[in-house]
Amino acid sequence: MTVDLQAREIQPLRNTFSHVARYVGDDKPATRYQEATFGAQATSNFHYRPTWDPEYELFDASRSKVVLADWYVLKDPRQFYYGTWTMARARQQDAMESSYQFVESRDLINKMPDVLRDKVCQVIIPIRHVAWGGNMNNCMIAAYGYGTAFTAPASLHAMDELGVAQYITRLGLALDEPSVLDAGKEAWLNAPQWQALRHLVEDSFVVRDPFEIFVAQNLAIDGLLYPLIFGHFIDDHVALNGGTAVSMLSAFMVEWHEESNRWVDAVVKTAAAESEANKALINEWTQSWSKRMHDALVPIAQMALGDKGVSTLEDVFTQFQARCKKLGLSA
Amino acid sequence: MSNVFIAFQVNEESRPVVDAIMADNPNATAVYSPGLVKIDAPNSLVIKRETIEEQLGQRYDLQQMQVNLVTLSGHIDEDDDQFTLSWNH
């Protein structure tokens, strides 16, 4: 008996789901990102309004003052959905683990001058509370925002912020005794340098407009904090003074900030380009939040970088304004 | 004039590579058969890292395509930014 094996080609009748095809057409198979994103927002059959907020539907675009004809225009240039995002983060986690191993096996932390180590703890540890605030605010966007293209990456971003907070915690434990975390919290709650920033972060928790909180947290707060602290303080100041180990152990934050900026920029640029009204709103939010963030960072820049603190912060602010101009804003 | 070709498994990882090849090589033709895509091009075919990164929205190392690469013909000229197939007579 002979068995004849043959390959048969079966052409699928449709290349993707019709709710995805409405956005990308059916002439070729849709990507996983497109299938996980387009048409996924629940839009109808809300029989009851939420008892906790009867002014709005369960999913309601009017929770934000920003008006978009179609919220799916806010695409993520990184094309993150759960699968690609976890794979990207797993790779970065592996890189961080090997950095920790490198630093620990060569005892690089103890080769840092004590003064510098204390300075790093003093500046970095309280920032885990800022990162936790970023987690809260992005959860808020994911919960109350509209359109999967906007809310899904926000929920991934929320987890990333939590990851940053955890990396800072781990950095603290690598640098010093666990009590350094309590000292950081104490400074966050009571030290005068941190109060303006804490006030700002806590004020951001009560903003009810998901797009305003997106601009405040992801553009203004993180957009000024990361270049100043992880760029100028850690990678320039600390690394040059014998703290390369710290720079290695905070590599994720720099890389992540650069990567997620592409998403933040794309969202802001697209929303601002849709109408003059949107642009005016986003402009106003960007200006007021970035101004406040700038002022809140003054004492922290001085604590971190001494005499050069204020001028460095001004450089960061000028670059931030240039970035906003590129997005079509006038901040 | 003779053709060079390259073939990949058809999946999510090779899709941006195939899309990038089709964008960079206007004379290339892709033939899909079950599980496989074979791309023919007259004389030469170039794969550019930059174009794949645009398609993908993320960083890409050209070595990653080896995972899904099935077969190819042509002389290879390869560096970090591009991968070229051609016939160097």
- The stretch A193-213 carries a mean pLDDT of 97
Flag if A78 and B58 touch (Cβ within 8 Å): yes
Distances (CA, A) of A79 to A238, A268, A325: 34, 16, 25
| Site from B10, B12, B36, B55 to mutate, A interface, most A CB atoms within 10 angstroms | B12
Task: Find the helix packing angle between A114-124 and A179-190, rounded to 10°.
Answer: 50
Neighbours of A115 (CB within 10 A): 10
For chain A, the average pLDDT equals: 94
Q: Which amino acid is at B11?
A: N
Residues in A closer than 8 angstroms to B58, CB to CB, are 78-79, 84, 88
**Alpha carbon of A262: minimum distance to chain B alpha carbons (Å):** 9
Flag if A79 and B56 touch (Cβ within 8 Å): yes
pLDDT band at residue A331 under the 50/70/90 scheme: low
A284 burial (CB, 10 Å; 0-12 / 13-18 / 19+) is middle
Flag if B34 and A84 touch (Cβ within 8 Å): no
pLDDT at A3: 87
**Alpha carbon of B89: minimum distance to chain A alpha carbons (Å):** 36
Q: Please report which residue ranges of B32-75 form alpha helices under DSSP H.
A: 49-56
DSSP category for residue B38: E
Q: Taking the mean position of all CA atoms in its chain, how far away is CA A254? A: 11
Residue A71 near residue A64 (C-beta atoms within 8 A): no
pLDDT at A154: 97
Question: B15 — contact with chain A (CB < 8 Å)?
Answer: yes
CATH class of A71-326: mainly alpha
Neighbours of A154 (CB within 10 A): 24
Residues in A closer than 8 angstroms to B56, CB to CB, are 79
Who contacts A240 (Cβ-Cβ below 8 Å, separation ≥6)? none
For A235-293, the pLDDT digits (tens) are 999 999 999 999 999 999 999 999 999 999 999 999 999 999 999 999 999 999 999 99
Question: A5 — contact with chain B (CB < 8 Å)?
Answer: no
Q: Which residue of B has its CA nearest to A88?
A: B58
Distances (CA, A) of A315 to A223, A265, A299, A308, B26: 13, 20, 16, 11, 45
pLDDT at B50: 95
- CA-CA distance, B76 to B65, in Å (whole number)? 14
pLDDT at B1: 75
Tell me which residues of chain A, numbers 157 to 186, contact chain B at a CB-CB cutoff of 8 Å: none
Residue A302 has pLDDT above 60, yes or no: yes
DSSP category for residue A79: -
Share of chain A above pLDDT 70, in %: 100
User: What's the token pair of residue A310?
Assistant: 């204020």
Which one of B12, B33, B57 has the shortest CB-CB distance to A32?
Answer: B12
Residue that has been written with the tokens 């003052």 in this structure = A65
For B37-67, the pLDDT digits (tens) are 999 999 999 999 999 998 888 889 999 999 9
pLDDT band at residue A34 under the 50/70/90 scheme: very high
Question: B36 — contact with chain A (CB < 8 Å)?
Answer: no
For A42-92, the pLDDT digits (tens) are 998 888 999 999 999 999 999 999 999 999 999 999 999 999 999 999 999
Residue B84 near residue B62 (C-beta atoms within 8 A): no
Higher pLDDT, A330 or A120: A120
Residues in A closer than 8 angstroms to B52, CB to CB, are none
- Domains annotated for chain B, with CATH where assigned, are 3-86 (3.90.56.10)
The phi, psi pair for A31, rounded to 5°, reads -75, 165
pLDDT at A330: 78
Which one of A9, A31, A262 has the shortest CB-CB distance to B33?
Answer: A9
